[in-house]
Structure 1
Amino acid sequence: MTLRSVVRGSGSALPKRVVSNAELAEQVDTSDEWIVERTGIRQRYIADDSETTSSLATDAARRALEAAGFDASSIDLIVLATATPDQTFPATATKVQANLGIADCIAFDVAAVCTGFLYALTVADSMLRGGNAKRALVIGAETFSRILDWEDRGTCVLFGDGAGAIVLEAADEDGKGILDTRLHAAGQHNELLYVDGGPSTTKTVGHLRMRGREVFRHAVVNLAEVLTETLEGAGLTAADIDWVVPHQANARILDATAKKLGLDPSKVVVTVDKHANTSAASVPLAFDEAVRDGRIKPGDMVVMEAMGGGLTWGAAVLRY
């Protein structure tokens, strides 16, 4: 018997407000042409005061549960990836648990920024295969607009808010499920992508800071390497992959990574033009969109990958 974490359903949620590049150009010294040429981003969703990381996460989780056909009470593990929690503590996952009406389950947050969903997925997979839980909600949710410096045109144009979720179930089912995951971190590169504040240092939240060119260089190399590493761990090659669901940071990174691996660009799920960079939410958001529009079908081999602040990076391969 080979117990694996099988994806039973997915869901996503976006704020009500859509902000186009043209609207952003009215507030920041930028233009639609400048943003599209450098990033591929055409719009992003921005949360209002009533929309929080936990509310978006809850909406995404409900849609994932509906897709799976599961009642929330059957969930015994929630792992939520976020860099923008509702509160310093308790974990935002516990707020989602309460919102869903789950009386008791394991619930905690994971902080690995844009790689957060891959970290959360790996942790949940390990716990399911180890027998600590039977069914899990794995969520990536962010309100990055709360930590942006809206006067810094080099960063504020890149990010958006949103949430994505998947339901996993431990099962032995004809090779379906998560086949391999790989995670990495290199803390010596902290200064390339970080928030300049926090409770134990400045006592304020701070704003996101990024050295974009250096991050781009690391991303292309690290993502290509971890994708190769993950495929080898699963005994696969790039030719076996039906879909790549990457972190939606920048269209140029997506293109460069695909070329480095010799992947057909038509196999890469791209949503960065609509969602911008939603950090930990971007992979599950893109996955859910591709499932719902019929691109990703049962039996397809799917690779997910991401890199974020830390620096952290990782990948997972699964048969849907």
Structure 2
Amino acid sequence: MPVYSIIVGSGKYIPELIQKNENFYNRRFVNEKGLKIEKPVEDIVRKFQEITDIEERRYLSPELNTSDMAYFAAKEALETSKIDPETLDYIIVAHNFGDILHNNIKSDMVPTLASRVKHKLQIANSDCVAYDLPFGCPGWVQGVIQANYFIKSGDAKRVLIIGSENLSRIADPHDIDSMIYSDGAGAVILEAIVSEKPVGILCHKTRTDTLNEAHFLKMDISYHPEFEDNTLFMKMNGRKLYEYALNTVPTLVKETIDKSGVALSKIKKVLIHQANAKMDEAILQRLFKLYGEKLQDSSAIMPMTISKLGNNSVATVPILYDMIMKGELTGHQIESGDHIVFTSVGAGMNINAFVYLVP
């Protein structure tokens, strides 16, 4: 009988430090040319909230790091699933910047974060392979796709996939976009199941566009001409990113749904990466338009956390899933028999999605 991959446990870590929009009122924002933006900061922040819907975000405490968040999320996922950590075949940690000390903004990726998590979990099994996956914001979704390949091939029975990111420490304090970024971690355990009927991950699709899009997100020095050193911060071309996402994500998601053979009307939830609420709304509307349908109310099908949690990159989608599964997102439930789309877009430029049938 066919082998499928199902989620048997999930966990998350949401940092305790709340950074409200008002906390940015003392910032001096400059544009990409290094010129001070003359608008009152309060107006800049207000306009930012109108566009993104972000009211506040979470920042990691100084004594913690990205691998700590990954460990916390993994530990909760293991507790939820009630499985023995020694039975894990793979640990995949999606991230993009490794561990970053709060007072030393340099990426630390040796050993891998996955090895650090395995060490913290005290797993002795040497056949449990731990590796990292840098793939932009879609890293966690891609980790699930890779884990599904391992399970389908017979190479694995249980895989722990974690998305953990600390964006607050690589954000240029003089860049308006710094208000988007936040920190967090989410994790799931994928397990093999033998079933006559399709269940779990039904299909997936990934694309990478680099001909003209490779540098929409990149690392560069501060916009402020008098910044103290040449520290590299994450930079993005917001307008280009917005256009790219609207023109490509709906198409990829449609191709994935079509590949699954599931009707659009059967899709109960779309768990999408969140960097801009208006952009996600437009993506979902365009998806329905591709099917010749009009979406009346996106709030029922597309749960959102961005207003309170901001954009925590690879952690967004697994945190969303865990919150719903644990009844922490008002108005949203996931039940057996539901079809769910998981999708993300980000640096690369990369887009991916998979369709999941809840067992």
Give TM class, smaller chain: over 0.9
Match of 1:172 in 2: 194
CA distance in 2, matches of 1:195, 1:38: 24
- 2:94 aligned residue: 81
Aligned structure 1 segments of 4 or more residues deviating by more than 4 angstroms: none
What runs of 5+ residues in structure 2 fail to find an aligned partner?
30-40, 100-107, 222-229, 289-294
Alignment match of 2:130 (pick from 95, 98, 107): 107
Q: Structure 2 CA distance, aligned partners of 1:76 and 1:279?
A: 25
- Runs (5+) with no aligned partner, structure 1: 198-203
Pairwise CA RMSD = 1.5
Contact kept in structure 2, 1:21 and 1:35, CA below 8 Å:
no
Quick one: distance in 1 between partners of 2:51 and 2:4? 40
Is 1:123 paired with 2:123?
no
Please tell me whether the aligned partners of residues 94 and 107 of structure 1 are also in contact (alpha carbons under 8 angstroms): yes
Q: 2:306 aligns with which of 253, 258, 272?
A: 272
| 2-structure distance, mates of 1:292, 1:171 | 23
Q: TM-score, normalised by structure 1?
A: 0.94
Number of aligned residue pairs: 313
1:212 to 217, 229, 238: 238
- After superposition, the Cα gap between the structure-2 partners of 1:137 and 1:205, relative to the gap in structure 1 and judged at 3 Å, is farther
DSSP-derived class of the 2:261 partner: coil
CA distance in 1, matches of 2:257, 2:336: 19
Cα separation, 2, equivalents of 1:305 and 1:98: 30
Measured at CA, do residues 28 and 282 of structure 1 come closer, stay the same or move farther in structure 2, by a change above 3 Å?
Answer: farther
In the alignment, the residues of structure 2 paired with residue 37 and residue 114 of structure 1 have an alpha-carbon distance, to the nearest angstrom, of 23
Does 2:109 align with 1:71?
Answer: no
How far is 1:190 from its partner? 2.0
Letter in 2 for 1:27: R
| Separation (CA, whole Å) in 2 of partners of 1:172 and 1:101 | 30
Distance of 2:244 and 2:210 partners within structure 1? 13
Q: 1:134 aligns with which of 157, 176, 194?
A: 157
Mapping 1:180-259, distance limit 5 Å: 180-188=203-211, 189-196=213-220, 206-259=232-285
Per-residue deviation, residues 40-83 of structure 1 (Å, max 9, x unmatched)? 11111111221211100111111111111212222121111100
Secondary structure at 2:251 match in 1: helix
Distance across 1 between alignment mates of 2:88 and 2:322: 19
Q: Where do 1:1-16 residues align within 5 Å?
A: 1-16=1-16
Kindly indicate whether residue 346 of structure 2 is the aligned counterpart of residue 308 of structure 1.
Answer: yes
Matched, 1:157 2:179: yes
How far apart, in 2, do the equivalents of 1:66 and 1:97 lie? 15
Structure with larger Rg: 2
